[in-house]
Amino acid sequence: MAIIEAKNIHRKFGEGALTAHILKGIDVTIEKGEFVAIMGKSGAGKSTLMYQLSVLDTPTEGSVVIDGVDVVALNERESTLFRLNTLGYVFQNYALVPDLSAEENVMLTLLMRDYDWKTAKAMARAAIDGVGLEGKYKNLPAELSGGEQQRVSVARAVAGKPKILFADEPTANLDTVSGTQVVDLIADLNKTVGQTVVMVTHEREYALGCDRIINMEDGLVTSIEQLK
């Protein structure tokens, strides 16, 4: 059953002669519970595609339906609410709030979803435990290593049990060991709880654990590798 259906996605920036045509008509379908990697060289348009699929950007042309919702038609307030309730994000620069402790960072989206403080705290701690950071609940991001911060970021993304987890180059700022740990963590979530994952990466070794790899070049899907 498809959880994401994107058809004829175009994304252009600028106007007239200065128009940059980044996505040139892409069709993507992602099944529920699937772990998909989007790969390509720098400038291929992989991150731009992920932004269209993850409701962070709106395509210039085409449609994106997620879990039965036409997300292109959502206004800003609706798309924020949709992202909160349906999607989880892991960004390449960890994107933690520096003033909040690890558990408070994870609690943010839970509190926004109207969980009471006590429940949100318990869920956040469970998520932090789940990424192997037991006991580091009160640490500020600055007190954690890059790999640990990214794991907190994963915990934040999955604590509210989103339908789809998007990871934008989650290993880009990490050493090989930490990068592998983070990708294993995401793959484990996919295996154990059937979490749908869409991950952008330019490092093939991290994509090998996925179900499918979508290869891109110059704004087009050039090939799809079915690994599992």
Q: For residues 160 and 137, what is the distance between their CA atoms, to the nearest angstrom?
A: 17
Q: Which residues pair with 90 in a beta bridge?
A: 167
Q: Provide DSSP, 72-112.
A: GG--HHHHHHHHHHHEEEE-TT----TTS-HHHHHHHHHHH
CB nearer another protein, residue 152 or residue 210: 152
Q: For residues 29 and 158, what is the distance between their CA atoms, to the nearest angstrom?
A: 22
* Chosen residue from 33, 91, 163, 188 binding another protein by CB under 8 A: 91
Q: Which two tokens stand for residue 189?
A: 């979530």
Give, in order, the Cα–Cα distances in Å from 195 to each of 52, 164, 218, 220, 226: 20, 7, 29, 26, 18
Minimum CB–partner distance for residue 228 and another protein (Å): 29
Q: Between residue 114 and residue 173, which ones bind another protein under the rule CB under 8 A?
A: 114, 140, 156-157
Q: Is residue 49 within 8 Å of 28, Cβ to Cβ?
A: yes
* Chosen residue from 22, 36, 44, 89 binding another protein by CB under 8 A: 89
Interface with another protein, residue 97, by CB under 8 A: yes
* Chosen residue from 65, 69, 95, 172 binding another protein by CB under 8 A: 95
Minimum CB–partner distance for residue 108 and another protein (Å): 6
CB nearer another protein, residue 67 or residue 225: 67
**Under the rule (CB under 8 A), what is the footprint of another protein?**
51, 56-57, 77, 80-81, 83-85, 87-89, 91, 95, 97-100, 104, 108-109, 111-114, 140, 156-157
